[in-house]
């Protein structure tokens, strides 16, 4: 961006791994904060994930600096505490009590730096489940999201780490609120964001639905639709297109533009309620008629009508999406093997500009010397820490 970023001047010490905590740091870093990622000597374990986890580190750690240190060594702990003493935010996602043993718990760090905002990314808020280990899939199962996503009797996790990402976002929201409050009070806060409660918020609409209707909930795959036409159409070229006709005005436009005068005149389906009640014959009939078109033709006609529609895309097709490429929605990100890929930007525009990449995801300990120097350590002290294996200076991705 050409203008200064909103969070320039805010320093964050991040002691996180996997997705939830790093996502919080990503939001802050993309918005201009100086996020210092504290890693173990061997590097964040997330760097070494394969399969579905292979993309976690590069997508969540751009615009950050890395220091790798041995926190079991008192000198390593002292060095990081020097960073925390002047930081604005400390972010962690360790199991409850783990950082207290190392001297990095909320009470210790708040005493060291009363202005510090401390955010904990946890599986659960305080309560009977607080001691449990949580992962995105765990909370999707126990929070009802998997039940609502899969076919009846076959719970299925959502196709992305929705709770981890949402949890990081809520952590960032809590930090921003606490930073604003600190202007008035001069003191920090302890923020806790949690995976299980994220899931419960995601299914709140279904809980409210049950409270209103008193009826057992059905998974989304077999739900009673809120709209009469809200479906995926199989096209003549073996593709599929989703279309929604969600108002009576849209229904009139839809029937007129496709020449479906008989449907427009049918009193049974003149209203959305009527179309919902007659879906059992209406949707197969629309499939029969619309299935004669190819996907491109249907999409063009739906767009011209102003209807909500979508071709069914796979994630790998998004690299070439014309809108994402034209709007700055994809950023050049370096991959572990040195290649570059276009990966999603933060979905925010500020005065028409998208926050970009100022730094690639760091090598292990890549910025250790400069970070420690900024914390007040002299060059001989830093050299000694490196020589003794307490601090590792960047040698590679892993």
Provide DSSP, 262-319: HHHT-GGGSSHHHHHHTHHHHHHHHHHHHTTS-HHHHHHHHHHHT--EEE---GGGGG
Mean pLDDT calculated for residue range 245-255: 97
Mean pLDDT calculated for residue range 64-91: 97
Listed residue (324, 300, 326, 319) closest to 311, CA to CA: 300
pLDDT higher than 80, residue 51: yes
pLDDT higher than 80, residue 238: yes
Over residues 272-309, the pLDDT tens digits come to 999 999 999 999 999 999 999 999 999 999 999 999 99
Per-residue pLDDT, 213: 94
221-314: same fold as 11-202+363-392? Answer: no
Contacts of 250 (CB under 8 A, 6+ apart): 305, 306, 307
Per-residue pLDDT, 273: 96
DSSP string, 185-228: HS---EEEEEHHHHHHHHTHHHHHHHHHH-PPP--GGG---SSS
pLDDT higher than 80, residue 192: yes
CATH code given to domain 221-314: 3.30.1540.10
Of all residues in the chain, what percent carry a pLDDT higher than 70?
Answer: 99
Mean pLDDT calculated for residue range 300-321: 96
pLDDT higher than 80, residue 260: yes
Q: Which CATH superfamily is domain 11-202+363-392 in?
A: Crotonobetainyl-coa:carnitine coa-transferase; domain 1 (3.40.50.10540)
What is the band of 222 on the pLDDT scale with cuts at 50, 70, 90? confident
Q: Known catalytic residue: 164?
A: yes
Helices (H), the chain: 20-30, 56-60, 74-85, 98-102, 106-112, 136-142, 145-149, 162-185, 195-202, 204-213, 248-258, 261-264, 272-277, 279-290, 295-305, 322-326, 368-374, 379-387
pLDDT higher than 90, residue 186: yes
Over residues 202-218, the pLDDT tens digits come to 999 999 999 999 999 99
Per-residue pLDDT, 280: 94
Neighbour-count burial of 260, counting CB atoms closer than 10 A to its CB (0-12 exposed, 13-18 middle, 19+ buried): middle
Q: Which of 164, 262, 280, 294 is catalytic?
A: 164
- Partnered with residue 122 across adjacent β-strands are 194
Mean pLDDT calculated for residue range 98-124: 97
What is the band of 395 on the pLDDT scale with cuts at 50, 70, 90? confident
pLDDT higher than 70, residue 368: yes
Instruction: Enter the pTM of the model.
Output: 0.93
Per-residue pLDDT, 285: 98
Mean pLDDT calculated for residue range 57-84: 96
pLDDT higher than 90, residue 372: yes
Over residues 138-178, the pLDDT tens digits come to 999 999 999 999 999 999 999 999 999 999 999 999 999 99
Per-residue pLDDT, 397: 66
What is the band of 398 on the pLDDT scale with cuts at 50, 70, 90? low
The rounded distance, in Å, linking the Cα atoms of 28 and 6 is 9
What is the band of 394 on the pLDDT scale with cuts at 50, 70, 90? confident
Per-residue pLDDT, 118: 98
Per-residue pLDDT, 221: 87
3-state DSSP call for residue 73? coil
Per-residue pLDDT, 200: 97
Per-residue pLDDT, 2: 75
Q: What are the domain boundaries of the chain?
A: 11-202+363-392, 221-314
């Amino acid at each position: 961006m050409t203008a200064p970023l909103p969070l320039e001047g805010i320093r964050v010490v991040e002691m996180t791994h996997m997705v939830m905590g790093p996502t919080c740091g990503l939001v802050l870093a993309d918005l201009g904060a100086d996020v210092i990622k504290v890693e173990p000597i061997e590097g964040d374990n997330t760097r070494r994930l394969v399969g579905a986890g292979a993309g976690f580190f590069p997508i969540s750690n751009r615009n950050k600096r890395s220091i790798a240190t041995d926190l079991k060594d008192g000198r390593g702990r002292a060095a990081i505490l020097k960073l925390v003493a002047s930081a604005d935010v400390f972010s962690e996602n360790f199991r409850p009590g783990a950082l207290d043993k190392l001297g990095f718990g909320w009470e210790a760090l708040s005493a060291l730096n009363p202005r510090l905002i401390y955010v904990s990314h946890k599986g659960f808020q305080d309560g009977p489940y607080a001691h449990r280990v949580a992962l995105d899939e765990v909370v999707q199962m126990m929070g009802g999201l998997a039940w609502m996503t899969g076919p009846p009797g076959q719970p299925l996790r959502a196709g992305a780490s929705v709770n981890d990402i949402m949890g990081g976002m809520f952590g960032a929201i809590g930090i921003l609120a606490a930073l604003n409050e600190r202007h008035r009070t001069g003191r920090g806060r302890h923020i806790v964001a949690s995976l299980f409660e994220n899931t419960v918020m995601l299914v709140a609409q279904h809980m409210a639905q049950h409270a209103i209707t008193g009826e057992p909930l059905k998974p989304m795959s077999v739900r009673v639709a809120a709209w009469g036409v809200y479906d995926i159409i199989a096209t003549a070229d073996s593709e599929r297109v989703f279309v929604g006709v969600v108002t009576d005005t849209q229904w009139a436009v839809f029937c007129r533009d496709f020449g479906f005068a008989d449907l427009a005149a049918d009193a049974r389906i003149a209203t959305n309620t009527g179309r919902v009640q007659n879906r059992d014959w209406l949707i197969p009939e629309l499939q029969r008629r619309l299935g004669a078109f190819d996907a491109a033709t249907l999409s063009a006609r739906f767009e011209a009508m102003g209807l909500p529609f979508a071709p069914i895309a796979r994630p790998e097709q998004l690299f070439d999406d014309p809108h994402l490429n034209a709007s700055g929605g994809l950023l050049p990100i370096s991959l572990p093997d040195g290649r570059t890929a276009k990966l999603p930007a933060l979905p925010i525009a500020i005065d028409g500009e998208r926050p970009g990449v100022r730094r690639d995801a760091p090598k292990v300990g890549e910025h250790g010397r400069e970070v420690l120097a900024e914390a007040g350590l002299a060059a001989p002290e830093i050299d000694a820490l490196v020589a003794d294996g307490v601090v590792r200076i960047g040698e590679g991705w892993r």
